[in-house]
Amino acid sequence: EAGVAQSPRYKIIEKRQSVAFWCNPISGHATLYWYQQILGQGPKLLIQFQNNGVVDDSQLPKDRFSAERLKGVDSTLKIQPAKLEDSAVYLCASSLEWAGGTGELFFGEGSRLTVL
Amino acid sequence: SQQGEEDPQALSIQEGENATMNCSYKTSINNLQWYRQNSGRGLVHLILIRSNEREKHSGRLRVTLDTSKKSSSLLITASRAADTASYFCATVPDDKIIFGKGTRLHILP
């Protein structure tokens, strides 16, 4: 079974530039999550999709971050314009279904962003 | 905001010893999960314990949950070098999964 695919693995940009990350979840997984993980900290939920609908985006900085999951399959996370504090690993995860949070989350390898 | 807080932040033990790490959380939960993250990799699910369970085992892992104290512990028995990683508890207070800051475990040869 193929895992969660993310790209690019690494990205270095200047502040105020834009960047996009792509995620392809495990086939058949209805729930997709984007987490931000700053070095030395735990993952912080940015946005959660159920199929192509947003379940929670309360911690997504909407003035600069956007995410979409067209057709309920793969997803993109965009940052525009980037700030220094956006330097982090962006993790995508998927689960078969929400099921009250009892579903196991499967994570991709992450996309490491460095903003200079 | 982070719901769970792991303790200790870092732990170094000799190979073969047992490792115990704790997670405390603030609000009532439906269930609690533990994940492992090797350096530079994504997180891997280890075990889930529901709010009506007190203890659960999986191989060398033992998880306990005390909802009255709002705390959980993860015990890894007979540690191996491959157990070197960061361990995170994840709580489900309502409709989202929230991770703690993690415990960095280092197994010494």
pLDDT tens digits, residue range B51-64? 999 999 999 999 99
Name, in order, each residue with C-beta under 8 angstroms of B35's C-beta and a sequence gap of 6 or more.
Answer: A105, B43, B44, B45, B46, B87, B88, B89, B90, B99
CB A115 within 8 A of CB A87: yes
**Residue A46 clears pLDDT 70, i.e. is over it:** yes
Kindly determine whether residue B99 and residue A100, on different chains, have CB atoms separated by under 8 Å. Answer: no
What the block records as the tokens of B38 is 């090797």
Kindly determine whether residue B45 and residue A105, on different chains, have CB atoms separated by under 8 Å. Answer: yes
Kindly determine whether residue B96 and residue A108, on different chains, have CB atoms separated by under 8 Å. Answer: no
Ranges in chain B, pLDDT < 50:
none
Burial of A107 per CB tally in 10 Å (0-12, 13-18, 19+): buried
On chain B, the residues whose CB falls within 8 A of the CB of A48 are: 96
Kindly determine whether residue A102 and residue B50, on different chains, have CB atoms separated by under 8 Å. Answer: yes
Confidence of residue A114 (pLDDT cuts 50, 70, 90): very high
What residues does B20 pair with on adjacent strands? B75
**Residue in chain A nearest B5 by alpha carbon:** A42
Instruction: Tell me the three state secondary structure of residue B83.
Output: helix
On chain A, the residues whose CB falls within 8 A of the CB of B97 are: 33, 45, 101, 105
**Interface contacts (A, B; CB < 8 Å):** 64
Tell me whether A25 touches chain B (CB under 8 Å): no
Name which of B44, B96, B101 is nearest A41 (Cβ-Cβ): B101
Query: What's the CA dihedral at A69, A73, A74, A78 to 10 degrees?
Result: 10
pLDDT at A99: 67
- The dihedral through the CA atoms of A115, A34, B86, B67 has a sign that is positive
Closest alpha carbon to A32 in A112, A110, A91: A91
SS3 sequence of A55-98? EECCCCCCCCEEEECHHHCCEEEEECCCCHHHCEEEEEEEECCC
Higher pLDDT pick, B29 / A7: A7
How many angstroms away from the CA of A44 is the closest CA of chain B?
Answer: 7
Q: How far apart are CA A5 and CA B59, in angstroms?
A: 28
**Residue A102 clears pLDDT 80, i.e. is over it:** no
Name, in order, each residue with C-beta under 8 angstroms of A62's C-beta and a sequence gap of 6 or more.
Answer: none
Strands A19-24 and A106-107, by their bridges, are: unpaired
pLDDT at B37: 97
Kindly determine whether residue A45 and residue B48, on different chains, have CB atoms separated by under 8 Å. Answer: no
Tell me whether B41 touches chain A (CB under 8 Å): yes
Best of B28, B56, B58, B97 to substitute, by most chain A Cβ atoms within 10 angstroms, is B97
Which amino acid is residue B43, in one-letter code? L
